[in-house]
Amino acid sequence: MSRKGWLLFISLCVIWGIPYLLIRIAVRELSPPALVLLRTMPAALLLLPLALRRGAWRGLVHSWPWVVLYTLVELSIPWFLVSHVEQRMSSSLAGLLIAMSPLIGALLCRATGVADPFDTRRLTGLLIGFAGVAALVGLDVAGSGLLGIVETVAVAFCWATGPIVVSRRLSHLPALGVITASLFITAALYAPAGIATLPSSVSVETVLSVATLAVVCAVAGSLIFFALIREAGPVRTMVVTYVNPLVAVLLGVALLDEPFTLGIALGTPLIVAGSVLATLPSPRRPLPRCATADTPITQADRPQA
């Protein structure tokens, strides 16, 4: 990747490594529908004035089925399932299963003809990264149940599909418009159940967690996510899911005085090595420039590195 691509990648790894901890805090007092509503509606309202000022809605009506599909697989379904899973499944198993997204995405990209190269080096990097996540988080299935495993695997499939939808079907649309519309759609879907299950009061800790999820993880994270797909392609963007569990564990060690385990010692170099291998550019294909929030997300007919 380019220097800008690496900056976007690292930023997204950090921003999307935070939610595991924040969701764990929030679901102590909020139901999954309420949490999704409180994550999406403030974020949508924050972006709305900017989207209107930049004319970011142009073209959305003509591509509404793909906008809806992106919304379902990237926000509506996985955000609810992750919140539901975090009520009873260990973060270790959830992180491990969700980290299958790059492998699933690589297979989907090959099946659907997305132009990311699917060579031995890339596949080796993906497998090494997955092994690193396995070493990092371990395999703690106690108390998780079959439903939790199915839900988490569903999240992995959703997050493997989202970047492909962006790369193939939303290339001509401003990223800011797609993000804002997706947040509004998700908020509308969960408004009835979310409002009905809102508690009468919540702690300051929950308020701060939800605010960070909405402003940092939803708004900033989504804008960086689209720019990274434009810069690096969908498969390499999904490698972020390898680093997310690492960020979550390291935050626990630094902020919550959790132990630095053997799994962390073994998993960290594997995740870093796998991510580097899986994201190195192909010498045969030039890297496209990075998109901004009000430029098209990517070019469907331009090869991705």
Give tens-digit pLDDT for 278-304: 766 665 544 444 344 454 544 333 333
pLDDT, residue 215, reads: 93
Is the residue at 153 inside a domain?
A: yes
Residue 303 is assigned to a structural domain of this protein: no
Give mean pLDDT, residues 2-26: 87
Q: What is the pLDDT of residues 253-284, one digit of tens each?
A: 777 676 777 877 888 788 778 877 776 666 55
Tell me what pLDDT residue 58 has.
Answer: 83
Q: What are phi and psi of 199, to 5 degrees?
A: -75, 160
Mean pLDDT in the chain?
A: 81
CA 16 to chain centre: 6
Q: For residues 12 and 223, what is the distance between their CA atoms, to the nearest angstrom?
A: 10
In a domain, 68, yes or no: yes
pLDDT at 96: 67
Quick one: pLDDT at residue 92?
62
Give the bridge partners for 296, in sequence order.
174
Domain that holds residue 272: 3-279
> Where do the H-state alpha helices sit in 233-295?
234-238, 240-255, 262-279
**Is residue 293 a part of any domain in this protein?**
no
Q: Which residues make Cβ contacts (< 8 Å) with residue 278, sequence separation at least 6?
A: 102, 122, 125, 126, 129, 235, 236, 239
Evaluate whether residue 296 is within a structural domain.
no
Share of the chain above pLDDT 70, in %: 82
Identify whether 116 is part of a domain.
yes
For 160-204, how does the pLDDT look when each residue is reduced to its tens digit (9 = 90+)?
Answer: 898 889 888 887 889 899 999 999 999 999 999 999 999 999 999
* pTM for the structure as a whole: 0.78
Task: Work out the average pLDDT over 136-147.
Answer: 65
Q: How confident is the model at residue 90 (pLDDT cuts 50, 70, 90)?
A: low
Note whether residue 284 is domain-resident. Answer: no
Identify the pLDDT of residue 190.
98
The residues, ordered by sequence, that sit 6+ positions from 229 with a Cβ below 8 Å of its Cβ are 163, 166, 167, 237, 297, 298
Report the number of distinct structural domains present in the chain. 1
Is residue 291, in this structure, part of any structural domain at all? no
Most distant pair of Cα atoms in the chain: their distance: 59
